[in-house]
């Protein structure tokens, strides 16, 4: 019950932020592994970032040109490399195909942002945040030449692990127009440990692809370049008309009944088979020596 109430409260808070803030950020994000994560050869990530920020939480008596304080919520998705190996698929014709392993990660965070000179053309800021980040490895099989009896691509998740995060950012916004600003920042994100596949260890022996599993803390250095869009809080005003013209009455026309056309039943095509790697035959046992 506590978990359900927590999720409901978090969802309500997130929804309130999404619909009531004056800033929406969209941009490119990249990351590099740090410390133990870097030593374990986790590859650089690249993807997109989206975030929402609230109104200024400080009272109006505080000079807006000095600084402001905002709450934000956001997420990002990044791909962190892949490795491909050619294999023979388990089809009647032993079709050639490709086996691929891909690392990705997805992060959600809540942020408190202190912006300096918030109403100026150039506005530096600092962030403190907490959140979660999921690290995933997916395996996919694809066939080189399309076979009508088999899927063109079969994929599955090999590993998925959520980590807890905390960290800080330093950045700045440069105002291009009253609504649009450029946003750049760098971030340090410390994370708990996770399992993942070391892509540098993916090898093929005979027709079998193998890999080595790694486990480490998931500290990241991230950088972001994007745009911030200010939602104009001023409502549109319409000038009242002194002599409003009467609205014409709508003529009601009778609706015609639609005829229903019955189409003959067509046979449902058989589902395509998933792709599989052709197993390597076991070596024949050696003959026993005769006495």
pLDDT in tens, 91-132: 888 889 999 999 999 999 999 999 987 778 899 999 999 999
- Taking only Cα atoms into account, the Rg of the chain, rounded to an integer number of angstroms, comes to 29
287 domain-assigned: no
226 domain-assigned: yes
- In this structure, are residues 75 and 110 in contact, taking their beta carbons and an 8 Å threshold? no
Per-residue pLDDT, 288 = 66
Total domains in the fold of the chain = 1
Q: Which residue has the higher pLDDT, 289 or 162?
A: 162
Q: What share of the chain has pLDDT > 90, as a percent? A: 55
pLDDT at 232 over 90: no
The confidence band for 148, taking pLDDT boundaries of 50, 70 and 90, is confident
The confidence band for 225, taking pLDDT boundaries of 50, 70 and 90, is very high
275 CB-near residues (< 8 Å, 6+ apart)? 89, 90, 91, 97, 141, 142, 143, 150, 151, 153, 154
Average pLDDT along the chain: 83
Residue 66 is classified by DSSP as T
271 domain-assigned: no
d(CA 245, CA 95) in angstroms, rounded, equals 74
> What range defines the domain where residue 14 resides?
2-230
CATH of the domain at 82: 2.40.160.20
Number of H helices, E strands in the chain: 2, 10
DSSP SS3 for 213 = strand
Report the pLDDT averaged over residues 15-27: 63
CA 63 to chain centroid: 37
Q: What share of the chain has pLDDT > 70, as a percent? A: 73
CA 250 to chain centroid: 49
189 domain-assigned: yes
d(CA 77, CA 31) in angstroms, rounded, equals 11
58 domain-assigned: yes
Run of H or E including 181: strand 180-191
Question: Mind listing the pLDDT tens digit for each residue in 46-63?
Answer: 999 999 999 888 876 666
127 CB-near residues (< 8 Å, 6+ apart)? 72, 111, 112, 113, 114, 168, 169, 170, 171, 185, 187
142 domain-assigned: yes
Per-residue pLDDT, 151 = 85
DSSP SS3 for 176 = coil
The confidence band for 192, taking pLDDT boundaries of 50, 70 and 90, is very high
Report the pLDDT averaged over residues 232-246: 56
Q: Which residue has the higher pLDDT, 246 or 121?
A: 121
pLDDT at 179 over 60: yes
Least confident of 89-98, 171-180, 195-204: 89-98
156 domain-assigned: yes
The confidence band for 8, taking pLDDT boundaries of 50, 70 and 90, is very low
Report the pLDDT averaged over residues 207-222: 94
Per-residue pLDDT, 280 = 74
245 domain-assigned: no
């Amino acid at each position: 019950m506590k978990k359900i109430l927590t999720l409901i409260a978090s969802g309500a808070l997130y929804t309130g932020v999404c619909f009531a803030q004056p800033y929406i950020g969209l941009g490119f994000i990249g990351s590099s592994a740090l410390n133990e994560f870097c030593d374990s050869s986790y590859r650089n990530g690249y993807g997109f970032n989206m975030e929402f920020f609230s109104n200024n939480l400080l009272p109006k008596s505080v000079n807006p040109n000095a600084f402001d304080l905002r709450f934000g919520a956001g997420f990002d998705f990044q791909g962190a490399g892949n490795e491909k190996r050619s294999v023979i698929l388990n089809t009647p014709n032993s079709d050639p195909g490709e086996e691929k392993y891909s690392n990705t990660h997805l992060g959600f965070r809540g942020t408190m942002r202190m912006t300096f000179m918030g109403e100026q053309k150039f506005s530096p800021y600092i962030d403190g945040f907490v959140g979660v980040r999921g690290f995933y490895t997916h395996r996919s099989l694809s066939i080189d030449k399309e076979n009508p009896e088999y899927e063109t691509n079969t994929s599955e998740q090999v590993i998925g692990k959520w980590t807890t995060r905390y960290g800080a950012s330093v950045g700045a916004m440069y105002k291009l127009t009253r609504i649009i600003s450029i946003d750049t920042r760098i971030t340090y994100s410390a994370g708990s440990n996770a399992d993942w596949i070391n892509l540098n260890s993916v090898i093929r022996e005979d027709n079998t692809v193998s890999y080595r599993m790694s486990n480490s803390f998931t500290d990241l250095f991230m950088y972001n370049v994007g745009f911030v869009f200010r939602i104009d809080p001023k409502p549109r005003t319409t000038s009242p008309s002194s002599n409003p013209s009467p609205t014409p009455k709508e003529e009601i026309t009778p609706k015609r009944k639609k005829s229903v056309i019955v189409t003959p039943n067509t046979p449902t095509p058989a589902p395509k088979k998933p792709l599989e790697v052709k197993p390597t035959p076991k070596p024949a046992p050696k003959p026993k020596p005769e006495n």
